[in-house]
Structure 1
Amino acid sequence: MNKRLISSLVIGSVASIGVMAQSMAKETKSTQNVDDPYIWLEDVGGEKALEWVEKQNDKSLSYLKSKPLYKELYEKNLEVYNSDERIPYVGQMGDYFYNFWRDDENPRGLWRRTTLEEYKKESPKWEIILNLDDLAEKEGENWVYKGSNCLYPTFDRCLINLSRGGADATVVREFDIESKSFVKDGFQLPEAKSNLSWIDKDTVYVGTDFGDGSMTDSGYPRVTKLWKRGEPLEKAQTIFEGNKTDVSVGAYVSHDGDEKYKIVYQGLDFYSREYYLVTDKGLVKLDRPIDSSISGIIKGQLLLELKSDWTIGDKTYKQASLLSIDIDDFVAGKKSFTEVLVPDAHTSIAGVSSTKDHVLITTLKDVSSELYRYTFKDGKWTNEKVDMPELGTLSVTGTSDEHNNFFINYQNFLTPSSLYYFDDAKDSASVLKSLPAFFDASPYKVEQKFAKAEDGTQVPYFLVMAKDTKLNGKNPTLLYGYGGFEVSLRPSYSATIGIDWLEQGGVYALANIRGGGEYGPAWHQAALKKNRHIAFTDFITVAEDLIERKVTDKKHLGIRGGSNGGLLVGTVATMRPDLYEAVVCQVPLLDMKRFNQLLAGASWMGEYGNPDNEDEWNYIKSYSPYHNVHKDVDYPKIFFTTSTRDDRVHPAHARKMVAKMMEQGHDLLYYENTEGGHGGAANNEQSAKLNALIYTYLVDQLMD
């Protein structure tokens, strides 16, 4: 099957910042003739901009670190993040199980492996493959490990991605597993947003910044080439060229037993792709809805997941269905699909993976996970439900196409993660490893509620609170949301939320608003582009429902979101500033006029629309936080956070919003980590610090 898939106040390595700034500058459009007095803050590594950042950091950190709670939370958080009792999740390659591990002695991390027999032990012995701390010290680089792509089926050579400070752009180097060393004169690429995929030991597909307009407007590869070992990159053979307006172009190899399928993809926008099969006669375009997704190839069956209805002749295949067809028949032009799974109104497909003989489908039923194992035999699909605990989140990991065993992770808000091992010989799953309870969950309970939106839609949300919580409208409550890109927010165990918030006396709420994927593609598409306001009003509806149920009131209600969720909380804070007392806005999009001009922003126009189109800007500007903040309005004291090294969502979104609000006289806090990428933190210490800052702020704002 397909094998794709805190910080110092001192500005870090000047060289690292400089390289990143040059890379980001290539992805940021000209600022000439832009009517924006804060445009200078888009200069990521500029001296003036960094001086401004340091000044804001000093102010905010001095304030928050002066609170006694900060040190307590920081120390507790760091203890959790560095705990050896965490589950070392693994992925299988051949006979070994690989894991990447960070702790207090190895803050940058260890890439390591072990055997299944050893992994089943309480304290397995690990073979260290690559020590990132040693590598970073030796090379004088702030390396952050960003994953590897290893040669199938031997897995003896890997393409390792190394990021400076956590950015999406990576340096790629070929690595020899057995000698535990980088291959001299092997495949390697300088820092860029690249994609590489093995064809065989001496050949790869490559997409990177070749120069001469080889990148899309979104900052990803536009050209895919076939690159042979020992050949200069500039001599690599071009396989496919996309358009500048595409999101990205790439190629990969999907394995089905002994069969190998070479596939080229062309991302037209965030949700639409063309796929081409590489054959001896050239590229063959796969005739399918461009918004459908290929979920794999197994037993000669191509799996296709629909995002919209598809009518073929007199047959309509419903939106959200998972279909299959013999791939040879499909390439030949036939359309005789089999419906593998057609979800009902309460169910969505959360994940599709496979083993040697089975397809594993994780579903969400009213936002709780179920797992089914499907088998294709004699031209038919049969299924059985895998017996697992209910009312939580299941995630399939560690699959292999060499056998039918796999791992399943289970968790919910109050139950720490447990890793189950499904043994095909026993036809059952049993607990292999469990996360310890980092906080006492016995005083708390979980409830699922539904808030009625303006159009009558029932919007679900979860509440985590003390069993003896009094519904007096005075409980400090944190509401978290995302609402975009078909991302589902599911019940999950967070030691940080437990220690930093629940134990402080807070109530936690998780909103499953439209724009997400909790009920499939229709739930997501309901809040696309001109209907974006539905995500915002759903979130406001949940907030008002919390108040109506007397869980909390406006003076004790805080909200938090990051990335698209940062846009969410930034927008509702400007729409209804009276509704919240605290807002945590992390790595956000905020300037929706220029979002498509900054870094990867152009790739998100399928979600938000194109602000350069007057008709689309008319609805985007109605909510763009940067354009809807005003001097004469009272806003809560918002805490903005971002990262200098974020090369996905430009830090200028947060920078410019803060500068504008400060000039208008609003009280706020701002913290920009100089490392960390889009995740906001590059190591355990930074994560511990960032969350300690956030929850110190929330306690300060919401607790009497």
Structure 2
Amino acid sequence: LFYERPDIKEIGIGPQLSRDNRFLIVTAYYGSSSGNEVYYRDLTQSGEFKPLVSGFNYRYTGDIIDSILYLMTNDGASKYRIIAVNLFHPEKENWKTIIPESDDIIEGFAIINNHLVVKYLHNACSVVKIYSFDGVFQQELNLPPLGTVGAISGRWNDPEMFVYYQSFTCPGTIFRYDFEKNELSKYYQYPVKVNPNDYEAKQVWYKSKDGTPVSMFIVNKKGVALNGNNPTLLYGYGGFTSNETPYFSSTLCVWLDMGGVYALPNLRGGGEYGEAWHRAGMLENKQNVFDDFIAAAEWLIDNKYTNPKKLAISGGSNGGLLVGAAMVQRPDLFKAVICGAPLLDMVRYHLFNIARFWIPEYGSSENAMQLPYLLAYSPYHNVKKGTAYPAVLFQSGEVDWRTHPMHPRKMVAAMQAATSSDAPILLDMERKTGHGWGMPLGMQMEKKADEYAFLIWQLGIK
């Protein structure tokens, strides 16, 4: 045992060891809080860990080379900056900003070939730049546009690195970068049984209810006539700083081959535009997320992509809360809803399983200041008798320890009793699954087939 915090049971920790094995770094996280603490210890000396960053107000993550700890942080920089801390002189006044905050959010970095390789998000798409340890810009990788970079791998002194990339029209691809030759080449691409060139993607901007500009990706098959009558699937999440960026999916191509349109907005609550964007969609600002999503639906209708009889929405977990709130607030706007592993009773959610960890994101009804806004948007508490609700497919697992299955069970009962429409309100409850991770491939395929069958049925796809 090298570190423990019995005083706060919700804390999780992550260790890092310096290249010379002298310093041990411990990062401590509290529940779903967007901040963390950092402690360090010189292993050549006896004694306890010393605090470098206290409080859970800001995020600090990074890597250590000998005595220099490089950290990306949103402390004083909503879109992050990278600092260097000499652990022999760790006082805050000695911290040095290596890469300052810019208009693009820093999503992560790696130390490879004695360089800082920094992954940025520019309008929710990845950009990779290389800097010296002094913060001098060296090179930007020439990656395809409108894509997402995942892992960047390589060791601190390697002459090469590997970059994983994907987009809506490019399957997962590993690029190799040669530092000496300044050369980027395709190393491997995962084989798929569809032709990615059959599809096209673009990014648009629209205004939310309060006038805030929001970006959105739209994907469709080339040659599809966008005539206001296209079956359209609008997906969203909007929370916990999760970045909704381009990705490749063969199962999505099935939807596109049926003439479907897919839309993915970058809602507030996510991390695509920095911590301020996240905070604008959490706690008392959560309604902004639902407004952003509803505005995306209205934009798709106004711009002749679809109409309310051809528009479906989908989301899971926090995204299940999103579509649950959207359908009770604007039931006239959607024909079908897929609501997966949702939170729907926001007054009692924190009392079940591990959901108390999410109080920093949502708040708690036990706080008199937070109860009013939770009640105002809680989907379960806003079901109204006599309302014509759209068709809904709720999905859950009986052993889901993140979002308790009581949420969709209660919601189905409430909506079936309240709705004035003939649209089905269905519950698909899996007996031996949880929140979705680790689901066998066969079960994943059955679930996706059920979702598409539901959409084909409700949207009248021939």
The equivalent residue for 2:171 is: 416
Indicate how the Cα distance of structure 1 residues 393 and 416 shifts in structure 2: closer, same or farther if over 3 A, else same.
Answer: same
Taking the aligned partners of 1:394 and 1:266, their CA distance within structure 2 comes to 25
1:254 aligns with 2:17: yes
Displacement after TM superposition at 1:401 (Å): 4.1
1:572 maps to amino acid: A
- Does the 8 Å CA contact 1:362/1:395 hold for their aligned counterparts? no
Match of 1:263 among 5, 26, 29: 26
Match of 1:294 among 48, 51, 61: 61
1:624-639 matches, within 5 Å, as: 624-639=378-393
Deviations for 1:126-148, whole angstroms, at most 9, x for unmatched residues? xxxxxxxxxxxxxxxxxxxxxxx
1:143-292 matches, within 5 Å, as: 205=2, 224=3, 239-243=4-8, 247-263=10-26, 265=28, 267=30, 270-279=33-42, 280-287=46-53, 290-292=57-59
Indicate how the Cα distance of structure 1 residues 342 and 663 shifts in structure 2: closer, same or farther if over 3 A, else same.
Answer: same
- Does the 8 Å CA contact 1:643/1:680 hold for their aligned counterparts? no
The equivalent residue for 2:120 is: 363
Taking the aligned partners of 1:658 and 1:492, their CA distance within structure 2 comes to 32
1:436-515 matches, within 5 Å, as: 436-499=191-254, 501-515=255-269
- Does the 8 Å CA contact 2:172/2:189 hold for their aligned counterparts? yes
2:281 maps to amino acid: A
Taking the aligned partners of 1:323 and 1:532, their CA distance within structure 2 comes to 29
Of residues 590-599 and 283-292 in structure 1, the stretch that sits farther from structure 2 once superposed is: 283-292
Taking the aligned partners of 1:502 and 1:467, their CA distance within structure 2 comes to 9
Displacement after TM superposition at 1:668 (Å): 1.2
1:319 aligns with 2:84: no
- Does the 8 Å CA contact 1:587/1:649 hold for their aligned counterparts? yes
Match of 2:402 among 648, 669, 680: 648
1:431 maps to amino acid: K
The equivalent residue for 1:305 is: 72
- Does the 8 Å CA contact 2:68/2:86 hold for their aligned counterparts? yes
Q: Percent identity?
A: 33
The equivalent residue for 1:156 is: none
2:65 maps to amino acid: I
Displacement after TM superposition at 1:476 (Å): 0.5
Displacement after TM superposition at 1:691 (Å): 0.6
- Does the 8 Å CA contact 1:645/1:674 hold for their aligned counterparts? yes
- Does the 8 Å CA contact 2:308/2:332 hold for their aligned counterparts? yes
Taking the aligned partners of 2:131 and 2:22, their CA distance within structure 1 comes to 21
- Does the 8 Å CA contact 1:263/1:276 hold for their aligned counterparts? yes
The equivalent residue for 2:443 is: 686
- Does the 8 Å CA contact 2:84/2:98 hold for their aligned counterparts? no
SS at match of 1:429: strand
Taking the aligned partners of 1:262 and 1:366, their CA distance within structure 2 comes to 33
- Does the 8 Å CA contact 1:487/1:517 hold for their aligned counterparts? yes
Taking the aligned partners of 2:141 and 2:335, their CA distance within structure 1 comes to 44
- Does the 8 Å CA contact 2:80/2:105 hold for their aligned counterparts? no
Deviations for 1:103-159, whole angstroms, at most 9, x for unmatched residues? xxxxxxxxxxxxxxxxxxxxxxxxxxxxxxxxxxxxxxxxxxxxxxxxxxxxxxxxx
Taking the aligned partners of 1:549 and 1:299, their CA distance within structure 2 comes to 56
Taking the aligned partners of 2:388 and 2:302, their CA distance within structure 1 comes to 23
2:51 maps to amino acid: K
- Does the 8 Å CA contact 2:22/2:66 hold for their aligned counterparts? no
Taking the aligned partners of 1:425 and 1:560, their CA distance within structure 2 comes to 46
Taking the aligned partners of 2:141 and 2:368, their CA distance within structure 1 comes to 51
Indicate how the Cα distance of structure 1 residues 419 and 369 shifts in structure 2: closer, same or farther if over 3 A, else same.
Answer: same
Taking the aligned partners of 2:219 and 2:266, their CA distance within structure 1 comes to 14
The equivalent residue for 2:189 is: 434
- Does the 8 Å CA contact 2:308/2:335 hold for their aligned counterparts? yes
The equivalent residue for 2:412 is: 658
Displacement after TM superposition at 1:330 (Å): 4.8
1:620 aligns with 2:383: no
Higher Rg of the two aligned structures:
1
- Does the 8 Å CA contact 1:646/1:680 hold for their aligned counterparts? no
Q: TM-score, normalised by structure 1?
A: 0.61
1:335 maps to amino acid: N
Displacement after TM superposition at 1:283 (Å): 2.5
Taking the aligned partners of 1:508 and 1:266, their CA distance within structure 2 comes to 35
2:52 maps to amino acid: L
Deviations for 1:241-265, whole angstroms, at most 9, x for unmatched residues? 2335xx3243523333444314252
Displacement after TM superposition at 1:589 (Å): 1.0
Taking the aligned partners of 2:311 and 2:115, their CA distance within structure 1 comes to 46
Displacement after TM superposition at 1:363 (Å): 0.9
1:242 maps to amino acid: D
- Does the 8 Å CA contact 1:299/1:357 hold for their aligned counterparts? no
Indicate how the Cα distance of structure 1 residues 249 and 415 shifts in structure 2: closer, same or farther if over 3 A, else same.
Answer: closer
Taking the aligned partners of 1:582 and 1:266, their CA distance within structure 2 comes to 38
Displacement after TM superposition at 1:425 (Å): 4.8
Bigger relative contact order, structure 1 or 2, given CA contacts below 8 A and separation 6+? 1
- Does the 8 Å CA contact 2:114/2:157 hold for their aligned counterparts? no
Indicate how the Cα distance of structure 1 residues 555 and 268 shifts in structure 2: closer, same or farther if over 3 A, else same.
Answer: closer
Consecutive unaligned residues in structure 2, runs of 5 or more: none
SS at match of 2:37: strand
Taking the aligned partners of 1:373 and 1:699, their CA distance within structure 2 comes to 47
The equivalent residue for 1:596 is: 350
2:69 maps to amino acid: L
Displacement after TM superposition at 1:626 (Å): 1.2
The equivalent residue for 1:43 is: none
- Does the 8 Å CA contact 1:284/1:331 hold for their aligned counterparts? no
Q: TM-score, normalised by structure 2?
A: 0.91
Displacement after TM superposition at 1:329 (Å): 4.8
Taking the aligned partners of 1:329 and 1:540, their CA distance within structure 2 comes to 52
Indicate how the Cα distance of structure 1 residues 513 and 416 shifts in structure 2: closer, same or farther if over 3 A, else same.
Answer: same
The equivalent residue for 1:89 is: none
Displacement after TM superposition at 1:269 (Å): 5.5
Taking the aligned partners of 1:561 and 1:268, their CA distance within structure 2 comes to 22
Indicate how the Cα distance of structure 1 residues 633 and 380 shifts in structure 2: closer, same or farther if over 3 A, else same.
Answer: closer
- Does the 8 Å CA contact 1:321/1:340 hold for their aligned counterparts? no
- Does the 8 Å CA contact 2:269/2:278 hold for their aligned counterparts? yes
- Does the 8 Å CA contact 1:681/1:690 hold for their aligned counterparts? no
Taking the aligned partners of 2:13 and 2:48, their CA distance within structure 1 comes to 16
Taking the aligned partners of 2:13 and 2:167, their CA distance within structure 1 comes to 36
Taking the aligned partners of 2:108 and 2:50, their CA distance within structure 1 comes to 27
Displacement after TM superposition at 1:268 (Å): 6.7
SS at match of 2:295: helix
Displacement after TM superposition at 1:604 (Å): 0.9
Taking the aligned partners of 1:521 and 1:298, their CA distance within structure 2 comes to 27
**4+ residue stretches of structure 1 with deviation over 6 A?**
none
RMSD of aligned C-alpha atoms?
Answer: 2.3
Taking the aligned partners of 1:477 and 1:683, their CA distance within structure 2 comes to 28
Indicate how the Cα distance of structure 1 residues 697 and 541 shifts in structure 2: closer, same or farther if over 3 A, else same.
Answer: same
Taking the aligned partners of 2:54 and 2:11, their CA distance within structure 1 comes to 19
Indicate how the Cα distance of structure 1 residues 534 and 503 shifts in structure 2: closer, same or farther if over 3 A, else same.
Answer: same
1:120-159 matches, within 5 Å, as: none
Taking the aligned partners of 2:27 and 2:264, their CA distance within structure 1 comes to 38
Taking the aligned partners of 2:282 and 2:22, their CA distance within structure 1 comes to 39
1:570 aligns with 2:324: yes
